[in-house]
Amino acid sequence: MKITKEFKKTSLLRRIAAAAIDLIVALILFILFEAFVLNPCFYNFTEYGEKYQTYLNLLDNSKLYIVDSYGNIDDIATENYVHKEERISYFYDTYAPEEKEYFENEKGKRTDLFTYQNGEYVFKENASDAELEVFYNLQYLHAINILENFDEMQELTMVLGAYHLGMVFLGLFLGLSLTLYLPPLFFKDGQTLGKKIFYIRIISKKGDGKITWVQSLIRTSIYFIAELLLSIYSFGIPLLVNICVTIFHPEHMGIHDILCSTVAIDTSFYDPTKLREKDKFVISYETQKEEEKKDE
């Protein structure tokens, strides 16, 4: 037995607004997880904390950075050239004496800024403060480049980068999971918080029209993995393709809807008799007769 039902199409603008609400909620959850759950857990229960402390100590001991007691890192750009001279010289003397010659040679080239006295270069009395600042900023960048090429620094940067990437990925996974998976189970009918607010419901184009939890799970997984997570590492291309498909599809079905035979409908109050033809679509369902259901 075939039953035909009419539904009102959901406007693309409302679907975008609903998706925006869901992503904002996911972002808030991501920030909370990152700050209060993941970062403390990674810091205390993995080698991340030890590696990060070693990283901070290396920066602080090099004198090329300022590390406070809270672990905040700042460069020495705001310090004047006298202090930069002291810090850069200390770095070369302690960590890269073989590179100290480059620093001294650069001073020797700037006869307008330095004069050679008693075996070392000193500032000329008429040297411009602005020119000295420019000179030492360039030398500071060169020293930082040497520090970043140390084997220990490269290893720490790689390890900490991997941990940060893992925390970001896990935080996004948890935030999006709680936003996209849990609300549909609570609200039913495939509704997330955004869809609930904008009166959008997901129905199936097969069976009796009710979306099953398996269908909802697969649909959300496709949207979550193929369209959102992959977009993070591919410049948003999967998400952009899905938006284009949704815009040009006559029933505003995205890729996840097409693959799962689902469609979003408008559940807001409206007068069916005044519904324009372009705003509605018809779905025919194959159903069983009551007698056949009883026999089963």
Query: Per-residue pLDDT tens for 89-99?
Result: 999 999 999 99
pLDDT in tens, 159-171: 999 999 999 989 9
Give the mean model confidence (pLDDT) for residues 211-228: 84
Torsion from C-alpha of 182, 187, 192, 198, nearest 10 degrees: -160
Query: If pLDDT is split at 50, 70 and 90, which confidence band does 288 have?
Result: low
Instruction: Scan for tokens 């408008």, then name that residue.
Output: 266
C-beta of residue 142 within 8 angstroms of C-beta of residue 64: no
In this predicted structure, the answer to whether residue 286 has a pLDDT above a threshold of 90 is no
C-alpha span between 109 and 48 (Å, rounded): 44
Q: Is the pLDDT of residue 246 over 70?
A: yes
Residue 4 pLDDT > 50: yes
Give the tokens for residue 157: 């940067």
CA distance 216 to 45: 35
Query: What pLDDT shows up at residue 106?
Result: 97
C-alpha 119: how far from chain center: 53
Residue 242 pLDDT greater than 80, yes or no: yes
Q: Lowest mean pLDDT of 35-49, 81-95, 240-254, name the range.
A: 240-254
Residue 291's pLDDT is 44
Grade residue 250 by pLDDT with cuts at 50, 70 and 90. confident
Report, in angstroms and rounded to the nearest whole number, the Rg of the chain calculated over CA atoms. 31
Phi, psi at residue 269, to the nearest 5°? -75, 130
Q: What is the pTM of this model?
A: 0.77
Q: Please check the confidence at residue 296 and state whether its pLDDT lies above 50.
A: no
SS3 31: helix
| Pair 55, 73: CB distance under 8 Å | no
Record the tokens describing residue 164, joined without a space: 């940060």
User: Rounded to an integer, what distance in angstroms lies between the CA atom of residue 290 and that of residue 50?
Assistant: 68
Domain locations in the chain? 2-36+175-295, 45-161
pLDDT more than 90, % of the chain: 56
Give the C-alpha distances (Å, rounded to integers) separating 158 from 48, 62, 145, 154, 265. 11, 19, 16, 6, 48
CA distance 48 to 164: 9
Q: How does pLDDT run across 44-67, given as a tens digit for each residue?
A: 999 999 999 999 999 999 999 999
Q: Residue 292: its pLDDT value, please? A: 47
- pLDDT above 90: residue 268: no
Residues whose CB is less than 8 angstroms from the CB of residue 139 and which lie 6 or more positions away in sequence, other chains included: 84, 88, 103, 106
Average pLDDT of the chain to the nearest whole number: 89
Is the pLDDT reported for residue 293 higher than 70?
no
Q: Check pLDDT > 60 for residue 227.
A: yes
In the predicted structure, residue 295 carries a pLDDT above the cut 50: no
Q: Alpha helices, DSSP H only, in 34-150?
A: 39-45, 48-62, 81-95, 100-109, 129-148
Read off the pLDDT of each residue in 228-245 and give the average, rounded to a whole number.
85
Interval 99-157: pLDDT, tens: 999 999 999 999 999 999 999 999 999 999 999 999 999 999 999 999 999 999 999 99
Residues 112 and 109: their CA atoms lie apart, in Å, by 9
